[in-house]
Structure 1
């Protein structure tokens, strides 16, 4: 996970890559400047200092689709490929399951979710729209801990909210996972692939707006 506002393409200059750790693997980049390095298998070791906080974390990029079943006790297994890449010290031992958009559930490593929550500005008189969002998000979220088989139990209210029954598709979406109904996702995915060029252009414009806003 990338924390403290860092991103894959824009790391603070004070951070250095540690290529000697047991979990860091590097190879020369074919697309970047001479001597640059890029992560293999989605991992990157970062070490640096931001303010008074020492940062040392392993970045994990969630990708892919995984089809699983939900058992009679509302349990679903987190894919072993994903579990094996998480570091308890960096990401925690559990997850937060939160209502997502368009009939989905979002699954965040607990320390990532808590860090995102801590970045929200605190106020006795919060913005009305933000207060409404946070009331819904946090009241409906659930802390879930995998059992020895790597399964989490989904609360019934969240199953109903997402329209999930016995089958589920788990999507890797950068820094979190999404749980969706497989049939609905197949239809949604096909619709988005048909508009891929348009979606890419909108994403580029959104990135430009973020960069311009950051320079203000």
Structure 2
């Protein structure tokens, strides 16, 4: 599970070190590639191994393949996926389209989200984190109504 967040520098060749913990998680799942695509509603890059990508494809595959919904989601998400392999030093090269989408320049934040992690421009991540904390605080009563896996919900 991808947790925590890490800030790393981006070099002049657009290489960035993937956190060792994240590489270990991907390696345990026998993923040698990071699948990445622009988040459809935020200036971040969604990254994962193949499992979440297969789940995404399966969800999109539930639409009629001749429908507008299928076309929109397949084009907005699946057609935008980039494959990034890390080198011997644990670095990936950030593709131009993803860098532009996230507004990256000299550093980025890797933020864990469970099965995925996102790459953010640091100031944008700080704004998102503050917004998320405010939203979570205002809706904290909802958390007590969530039934944990295997729980009774009582």
Q: Render the CA deviation track for 1:151-206: whole Å, top value 9, x for unaligned.
A: 1111111111111111101000010010011111112212321332334445677x
| 2: CA distance, partners of 1:173 / 1:74 | 24
Structure 2 match to 1:162: 102
| 2: CA distance, partners of 1:157 / 1:144 | 13
| Equivalent in 66, 72, 80 of residue 20 of structure 2 | 80
| 2: CA distance, partners of 1:125 / 1:131 | 8
* Structure 2 unpaired stretches of 5+: 148-154
Structure 1 match to 2:130: 190
Q: Secondary structure at the match of 2:12?
A: coil
Structure 1 match to 2:152: none
CA contact (8 A) 1:77 1:151 kept: yes
Structure 1 match to 2:34: 95
* Pairwise CA RMSD: 2.3
* Structure 1 unpaired stretches of 5+: 1-60, 209-216
- Please, which moves more after superposition, 107-116 or 130-139? 107-116
Q: Render the CA deviation track for 1:66-120: whole Å, top value 9, x for unaligned.
A: 00111111111110122123345x3421111111131000011134423542453
Q: How does 1:176-215 map to 2 (within 5 A)?
A: 176-201=116-141
Residue 121 in 1 paired to residue 62 in 2? Answer: yes
Q: Render the CA deviation track for 1:2-47: whole Å, top value 9, x for unaligned.
A: xxxxxxxxxxxxxxxxxxxxxxxxxxxxxxxxxxxxxxxxxxxxxx
What number of residue pairs does the alignment pair up? 145
Q: TM-score, normalised to structure 2's length?
A: 0.80
Residue 105 in 1 paired to residue 50 in 2? Answer: no
Structure with higher RCO (Cα < 8 A, 6+ apart): 2
Structure 2 match to 1:134: 74
Q: TM-score, normalised to structure 1's length?
A: 0.59
Bigger radius of gyration among the two: 1
When you count strand as a share of all residues, which structure comes out higher? 1
Q: Secondary structure at the match of 1:72?
A: coil
| 2: CA distance, partners of 1:130 / 1:136 | 10
